[in-house]
Amino acid sequence: MNNELRPLFWSDNHLKCLDQRKLPNQEVYVNIYNILDGVKVIKDMVVRGAPLISFTALFSIAAEIKNNTKYNINDFYNDIILLKNSRPTAINLKYELEMLENNLKRNILDFSFEAILKYAYQQIEILNSSNLNMSKLFFNSICLNSKKQKFNILTICNTGRLACGCHGTALGVIDYLNEKKCLNHVFVLETRPFLQGSRLTAYELTHSNIDYSIITEGSLSYIFENNEIDFVIFGADRIALNGDTLNKIGSSTLSIIANYYKTDVHIIAPLSSFDLSLQKGEDVEIEIRSSDEITKFNNHWIAPKSARAINPSFDITHSSLIKSITNQNGIISPVNSKNLENVCKR
């Protein structure tokens, strides 16, 4: 990727967020001056990817404090609900905001622009270290124990720097394998409804000079039958105690088909993606987005104007379909509540 291109960064008195809806053809930044600006870019998917959403929220709080001299801690506690509800399915947003709340309540962190801005950057550095560690764990445990030297990988959605603001999760593993000269080819699902695979993952792979092919969601059986896929790898927006994994819509379908073809499915997700308070995936609210995202393209109708669409943003990949889940503490396999809890609480 272009070294000058960043998903978000602080400039003077505001946050600048790369508008990922316009990639790969335009590199345009949106300015964030307060919490309401932050809520809007999260809801409208200017930014996406569970970690990047949470970092956008943290920087939006810093922007509010910087630009609103009357803003105080009580206002913050009221506004935090807006941020938490801006995208309800992914757990990272809630996780990061509650960590910030706890640090403020315990006086570990000052309620000041400087302190929260520094804290936001620190959280990105922590995630970068965690994600890099996950890549190393996966490589050492899964790849080095394989008889193969180079791998064909299939992935869905975007889990790289554009989703994380730092070293990616599943795409981070792909980058790491490429660095180790262990990567042969990547099959990239287009990923509905916003085509994050076609637009964003392909964009990152192009800039990393990684060999890849975009495939349609409907071609999965053909791809598995006619290509040697070594494993499927993707990230997670939330993982329940039993290992059920919520991820971009289509992940469940992909996993069912992969299992039919006896291809292992691996999840790469930091601890912030785990929600041990949830017993199973069905306990999570699935975000239903506007039908316009399917019936229109660039605000032009591509379906009859009377058409309506069902547009869930996520689905549940049940734990029985998953070979392993890797976080920064270790690898969970087989995937069950006992193993998941043990690894997460190390």
pLDDT-above-70 percentage for the chain: 98
Q: Are residues 146 and 258 in the same domain?
A: yes
Whether 211 sits among the annotated catalytic residues: the reply is: no
Q: Are residues 161 and 80 in the same domain?
A: no
Cis peptide bond prior to 193, omega within 30° of 0: yes
pTM of the model: 0.89
Average pLDDT over residues 238-248: 96
Give per-residue pLDDT as tens, 13-22.
999 999 999 9
Give per-residue pLDDT as tens, 256-311.
999 999 999 999 999 989 999 999 999 888 889 899 989 998 789 999 999 999 99
Give the CATH number for residue 101. Answer: 1.20.120.420
d(CA 20, CA 32): 15
Q: For the chain, how many structural domains are there in total?
A: 2
**pLDDT value of residue 199:** 94
Contact 210, 246 (CB under 8 A): no
Triad 324, 214, 156: Cα angle to 5°: 30
Give the CATH number for residue 239. Answer: 3.40.50.10470
Average pLDDT over residues 23-31: 93
Helix (H) or strand (E) holding 324: strand 324-327
- How far from 122 is each of 116, 126, 170, CA to CA, in Å? 10, 6, 22
Q: Are residues 138 and 58 in the same domain?
A: no
Domain assignment of residue 2, yes or no:
no
**pLDDT value of residue 5:** 65
Order of all β-strands in the sheet with 231-234: 212-215, 183-189, 151-155, 231-234, 264-268, 324-327, 330-332
Owning domain of residue 327: 132-344
In the chain, the N- to C-terminal Cα span, in Å, equals 34
Instruction: Name the domain boundary from 125, 157, 173.
Output: 125
Sign of the dihedral through C-alpha 294, 295, 297, 302: positive
Which residue in 79, 175, 237, 315 is the catalytic one?
237
Q: Which two tokens stand for residue 305?
A: 């104007």
